[in-house]
Amino acid sequence: MSSNPIPGHGPARARLILDFDGTVALGDGPVYAYAQAVAEFLDAKDRVALLAALEAFLTGSGGAPETRFKDGYDAVAQLSAPAVSRAQRNAAYRSSREAIARGDVAVHAPDGLEDFLVSVAPFAERVLLTNAPLTGVAESLAALGLAEVIDSIIPEAGKPDGFAEKLPGLLRGLAPEELLSVGDVWLNDIAHPLAAGCATAFIDRFNLASGPAHLRAAHIEELYPGMLEWAGDPSAFSRNHAGQIPHSETPAH
């Protein structure tokens, strides 16, 4: 496994792009660690309110899904602003990632992910594309037993816009449908590759009113069969799943 800025050394092959938090590493520990670090900048009453609102979003105990939040991290950012500045939130995020690196925050891998990534290795390069810094990610992959089944890591990717900037390099030597992007935040992980004609698989944990994707399920484990179908024949997969994408949102090739 390497942390090259753009993978793809050697013969071109299909490329599987995976998000980290909520995709490869499961559990709400990291977002709670971030929320608790952000809450340190609030008074006691607002601290309790922030953590309670995050709990309601993550567990669905507040009733209908809160669709204005992309994910838990976005919920913390929106709920704490403007009392907590962007610089303070960034400091809190770095602190939470350092806690992950120390092993103080529990995460777990999806069932069967290691075996799945082994099975696609002959067909696709396995790339982790994450907004998180390398600190915390590398240590978590090792602890989860996934370090040997990820070929390269692109940290601090700056998604969503950073994904668009990196797509030309990620697609070098490939047809668009030979790249499959998998993630749990539609705007970050799906929107730009979909617009570029790539294959997409969306983990829709919160059943949010988001855009289309070729594959969609509440858990990544449910997506393994479709992703294996893609790995075996990306062109056929694109044809077979074209009906999942509204015509107006299907890029021209």
Quick one: average pLDDT of 27-48?
95
pLDDT score of 49: 94
Q: How confident is the model at residue 61 (pLDDT cuts 50, 70, 90)?
A: confident
Asked if 40 and 50 count as a contact pair (C-beta separation under 8 A), the reply is: no
Quick one: average pLDDT of 81-106?
94
Q: How many Cβ atoms from other residues are within 10 Å of residue 205's Cβ?
A: 19
Domain 14-26+107-249 fold is: Rossmann fold (3.40.50)
Each residue's pLDDT tens digit, 45-54: 999 999 999 9
| Of the candidates 20, 17, 219, 27, the residue with the CA atom closest to the CA atom of residue 112 | 219
Residue matched to tokens 């309790």: 48
Q: How confident is the model at residue 59 (pLDDT cuts 50, 70, 90)?
A: confident
- Give me 145's structure tokens: 């037993």
pLDDT score of 194: 96
- Does pLDDT of 92 surpass 90? yes
Q: Quick one: what percent of the chain has pLDDT higher than 90? A: 79
Each residue's pLDDT tens digit, 137-178: 999 999 999 999 999 999 999 999 999 999 999 999 999 999
pLDDT score of 208: 72
> Cis (ω within 30 of 0) for the bond into 176?
no
Q: Quick one: what percent of the chain has pLDDT higher than 70? A: 90
If you average pLDDT over every residue of the chain, what do you get?
90
